[in-house]
Amino acid sequence: MRNLKIYIAYDGSCYHGWQRQENNITVQQVIEDTLLRILGERVTAHGCSRTDAGVHAREFCMTVRTDNPIPCPGLVRAMNGQLPDDIAVKSCEDAPEDFHARFSSKGKEYVYIINTAPVRDVFANRHALHYPHPLDVPRLDAAAKLYVGERDLAAFCRAESLAQHKTTVRTVYSAGMERCGDRVTFTVSGSGFLHHTVRIMVGTLLWINEGKISEDNITKAFAAGDRELLGVTAPPDGLYLNKVLY
């Protein structure tokens, strides 16, 4: 049986996240239904991450096991010919037997895009957070560095999801914020993240910018595991899974 390593990109605006759900349309469902038509067999697409509703992916890895001998270039063409316009297959290759999109990953990099222009960009409403306020990027870049290191992310997790994790400790490799014109980008990479972690990181930086909390709250939240010390959970629109590290 072949183990296919497939990279896709998708606009998550119209989907209820990656993982298949009974009553909602998801990226996994669309992918698996497309593969059924092409391969003639029902397969499971194992994703590298469980992105939330409305979250996008520039580089999402999945693994698929199949007995079908279709060459990888042919599978890429066939899938892109049948998938909707908001999902694209970037590449496909035969992977080692023990490779798994999720469990073989060494980490992930996310970006969050903020549009600071006075007037919202109607063509980017679902692809960036419109934040038409002064943003102290150098200060927030310095605050973002407090995320880096081996951290207990309990405070940076949706409360209802905490019980799903055996441990809430992760290593954040890098974090920072930079500006290019009206566009501000927060980038963070790490060994893994919990449910809503990156969105809470962004919301916390925005509250620091607004003077609602101080940078010290980040350190205190890591120590106490207290979600109340941090900012709001930023909307999903501006969040992208940027790359997966193997």
- Distance separating alpha carbons of residues 78 and 129, to the nearest angstrom: 34
- What are the distances in angstroms from CA 204 to CA 170, 198, 201, 219? 18, 10, 5, 12
3-state DSSP helix/strand/coil percent for the chain, to nearest 5?
A: 30, 30, 40
Of 11, 33, 52, 67, the catalytic one is 52
DSSP letter string, 147-197 = G-EEEE-GGGS-GGGGGG-S--EEEEEEEEEEEETTEEEEEEEES---TTH
- Distance separating alpha carbons of residues 188 and 197, to the nearest angstrom: 11
DSSP letter string, 59-94 = EEEEEEEE-----HHHHHHHHHHHS-TTEEEEEEEE
Residue 52 annotated among the catalytic residues of the structure: yes
Q: Active-site residues: which are they?
A: 52
